[in-house]
Amino acid sequence: MEEYTREPCPWRIVDDSGGAFAMGAIAGGMFQAFKGFRNAPSGINKRLLGSVMAIKQRSPIIAGNFAVWGGLFSTIDCTCIHIRKKEDPWNSIISGSLTGGILAARSGVPAIISGAIVGGIILALIEGVGIMMTRLSAETFQPVPIDPSQLGPPPPIHQS
């Protein structure tokens, strides 16, 4: 299952890191806006100020964490593609598992194992849903067999 719309491997790392940073900035900004608004003292002005302050303080950190995850995932994915000499869903599953394990490495061996298992399962589910959607959409475009005996006579041709 090849994707022809993605960048080639060395540039994919930068592309995925930037996309993950943007996704983290947007999602983190929305989450922090809600959290800052909720945790601020009462009064609309104080709540709006608390929302803005939370966005300014925490969103860049969340975006950076997302970028690290995206860059590490893409680096491992490109390494798997280079080693295995093919691009298939197993590369993503392996990459998700190794990324989850590496990012949990500061917390010890049990965290590494559980992070790797969770990362592998999440990417396996994502890849499985992607394969299922591809197969379902491919069935939509299958040609319908037509029985010529049921077509009837061709329409008359009018010449002007």
Condensed to tens digits (0 to 9), the pLDDT of residues 25-70 reads 999 999 999 999 999 899 999 999 999 999 999 999 999 999 999 9
Closest CA to 100 of 131, 75, 72: 72
Residue 50 maps to a domain = yes
Residue 95 maps to a domain = no
d(CA 148, CA 139): 23
Closest CA to 13 of 54, 71, 66: 71
Domain interval for residue 55: 9-67
Residue 39 maps to a domain = yes
Residue 140 maps to a domain = no
Residue 146 maps to a domain = no
Asked if 45 contacts 106 with a C-beta cutoff of 8 angstroms, the reply is no
pTM: 0.76
DSSP string, 120-141: HHHHHHHHHHHHHHHHHHHHHT
Counting the structural domains of the chain, the total is: 1
Residue 54 maps to a domain = yes
Residue 55 maps to a domain = yes
